[in-house]
Structure 1
Amino acid sequence: MTALKQFQRLEAQGSWRAAPDGPARDVIVSLGDATLVLSDPATDQPLSHWSLPAVVQINDARIPAIYAPGPESTDETVTIDDPLMIQAIARVRGAVASHRSHTGRLRNSLAVLGILGVLGILTLWLPDALVAHAARIAPPAQARDMGIAILADLERDAGAVCTRASGQAVLDHLAPILLTPEAVIRVLPEPLGGARRLPGDIYVIGNDLLRASPGPEVAAAHLVAARLAVEEAGLRAAAMEHAGLLASLRLMTLGHLPQSAMSGFGTALLSRPAPRPQDTALLAALAERQIPAEPYARSLDPTGQSVRALIDGDPLANTSTARPLLNDEQWLALQQICAG
């Protein structure tokens, strides 16, 4: 049953009742060595152990699935809605039952077939599923670690992060105004072809957006565009796909990625144009933040031909009512963030 150990660290959330009239309790459901372990998420203390060959689903293969420890022990139940865990329970339970239910030559033949089947699943289905699962369940702290690792990889191509304190203080002031309260903005000395959003609400721009612009509006609009163009879930999925199966398993079991997991991701990121959001969504977001759209549009295409919709739809065109994002002192400090 060696192949079954591939599933031992698979976890999902569930709702457990010790008795039919008992209260529902949140638990972590883990696949163990031919067992299903229900643990307290707060203390990691096991609350119940079930034998996988005896486990039965008592709601006719519907989702969320409701399981009991056995056909004669249906007072205790656990409800699971994670598709990966449901499939894994069915497959592992079947493999365990097949392994134990036969003797002699027939048992050995079926065990070989079961192992080959599980290996086939591992080859064709499980790797992609585990990678996607790792990306989906990664908490904010692990997502931020992904982003930091990608930023470190970007530094190999675009130079070390600019760290002048006065300029970074301005970025820290702008981040919650332009993006989210948890966002962080970093500047690299080399051009990045626009702003780039990384997992964990990390945003990166090149110093060219500061040095070659008359004001902070261009960089600000690029940052807003980066936030709208890519969702956090997509960023995590792309990062974990790059990291691969072994790194995904390490993230789920140990809570962190190998140091080399994001190697090359930054180079691949810069080889593609920065994604752009829909013009209507960007114009609405810029209007909400009182940022003109035309400077951003001209930074993409100085002729304006390919960005005419942004220029014509600029809500702040021909107006002087917008309050400045930064005062002169703040803008000067931001422009000098890479100066020493």
Structure 2
Amino acid sequence: MTALSEYQRLETTGLWRETPDSQRREVVVSLGDATLVISTMAETALSHWSLPAVKRLNPGKNPALYAPDGEADELLELSDADMIEAIERVRSVIEKRRPHPGRLRLWLGGVLSLVTILVCVLWLPGALMRQTAQALPAAARIEIGQRILAGMADLAGRPCAGRDGVEITREFSAAVFGSAAPQIIVLPSTAQVTAHLPGNIMVINRSLVEDYEDPAVLAGFLLAEDLRRRQQLPMLRLLEEAGLMATGRLLTTGEIDGSYLRAHAARLLTTPPAPVATDRLLARFEQAGISSEPYAYAIDLTGETVLDLIEGNPMRGRLRAPLLTDQNWIALQEICDG
């Protein structure tokens, strides 16, 4: 049914014109089930208009003018408010039920636009940062790492470089990591014991070489920091902190503002290291052929909170050559004394 039930018996009078040249005549207008019926006063039907096709020619004005469709010559003039309201309500219901391909396209366009915005906001920045971090030449990463190190030195003191200590750190790093050994820098004063920088640089607090008798303790802290470096590339971490604008500038010009590097340096010195999974750390100890027990007891002298590192020691019952000779270890312990 097309007509609303409350209006199905509604009738009124109006003025009807069959053609533009015809004289208007008074007629009876009845709201039918799916039609608007125009009759003479003697109830002789003159015309039937399909309600879905009825067009109002002067919206909002009175008397209301209607036509059976957009191109018809017939014209109906109505002044009865109830009949006008009825026709308008029926036309509104019909319009809502009518398929609207344009609206579907509008909705699809809106959804596509929303998806595009979400991709740009949520995915694109991360993708751009990852791409920039991976595409940056090694020389550029090294330069940025050195600039961050300079910022750390302004806050924590110049890197220790006493006697033969610098050369021994290279030897020690190679013993722990092999051919991909990072450059190890000892700082005299840091809030955190380890940090990693772009350019394959690891920074350690002097306490790791001065406060322990076993070089395996230092090796354990370095292996744990290496796991953190693998979990989050140091260059990517810097770009995530600096933001999209700094990333875009670095990608297009190869430059990054020093303020971002100084802020990153301060954050590295003060941010507690992220935890690492015990099973992954034990795998790194096994790969390096280093006992995990000295590192575990350095973290907790009682061993209660690091029992997995102690019991899972991959080198238990196995021997390997010392990481450093006693003489070199003593020289490394004095690296900050020169």
TM category, shorter? 0.5 to 0.7
| CA RMSD of superposed structures (Å) | 2.8
Residue equivalent to 1:222: 221
Deviation of residue 227 (structure 1)? Answer: 0.8
Instruction: Tell me the SS of whatever aligns to 1:193.
Output: coil
Residue equivalent to 1:195: 194
1:1-340 alignment runs, 5 A limit: 129-179=127-177, 180-181=179-180, 183-231=182-230, 234-317=233-316, 319=317, 321-340=319-338
Q: 1:131 to 1:314 in 2, by over 3 A?
A: closer
Instruction: Tell me the SS of whatever aligns to 1:331.
Output: helix
Rounded Cα–Cα distance in structure 1 between residues aligned with 2:336 and 2:124: 45
CA contact (8 A) 2:141 2:235 kept: yes
Matched residue type, 2:172: L
Q: Which runs of 5+ in 1 are unaligned?
A: 1-117
CA contact (8 A) 2:169 2:332 kept: yes
Instruction: Tell me the SS of whatever aligns to 2:154.
Output: helix
Q: 1:310 to 1:143 in 2, by over 3 A?
A: same
Instruction: Tell me the SS of whatever aligns to 1:264.
Output: helix
Q: Which runs of 5+ in 2 are unaligned?
A: 1-115
- Structure number with bigger Rg: 2
Q: How high is the sequence identity, in percent, across the aligned residues?
A: 33
Rounded Cα–Cα distance in structure 2 between residues aligned with 1:119 and 1:287: 47
Structure 1 window deviating more from structure 2 (124-133 vs 168-177): it is 124-133
Rounded Cα–Cα distance in structure 2 between residues aligned with 1:303 and 1:220: 20
TM-score, with structure 2 as normaliser: 0.58
Matched residue type, 1:300: I
Q: 1:311 to 1:192 in 2, by over 3 A?
A: farther
Q: 1:121 to 1:336 in 2, by over 3 A?
A: same
CA contact (8 A) 1:242 1:262 kept: no
Rounded Cα–Cα distance in structure 2 between residues aligned with 1:135 and 1:181: 19
Deviation of residue 240 (structure 1)? Answer: 0.9
Deviations 1:224-251 (A, max 9, x none): 1111223275322210122233332332
Rounded Cα–Cα distance in structure 2 between residues aligned with 1:332 and 1:320: 25
TM-score, with structure 1 as normaliser: 0.58
Q: 1:233 to 1:329 in 2, by over 3 A?
A: same
Instruction: Tell me the SS of whatever aligns to 1:322.
Output: coil
Rounded Cα–Cα distance in structure 1 between residues aligned with 2:226 and 2:284: 10
CA contact (8 A) 1:290 1:322 kept: yes
Deviation of residue 155 (structure 1)? Answer: 2.1
Deviations 1:305-336 (A, max 9, x none): 2111001111334x473321111111111011
Rounded Cα–Cα distance in structure 2 between residues aligned with 1:310 and 1:182: 24
Matched residue type, 1:262: L
Deviations 1:9-50 (A, max 9, x none): xxxxxxxxxxxxxxxxxxxxxxxxxxxxxxxxxxxxxxxxxx
Instruction: Tell me the SS of whatever aligns to 1:187.
Output: strand
Rounded Cα–Cα distance in structure 2 between residues aligned with 1:127 and 1:251: 14
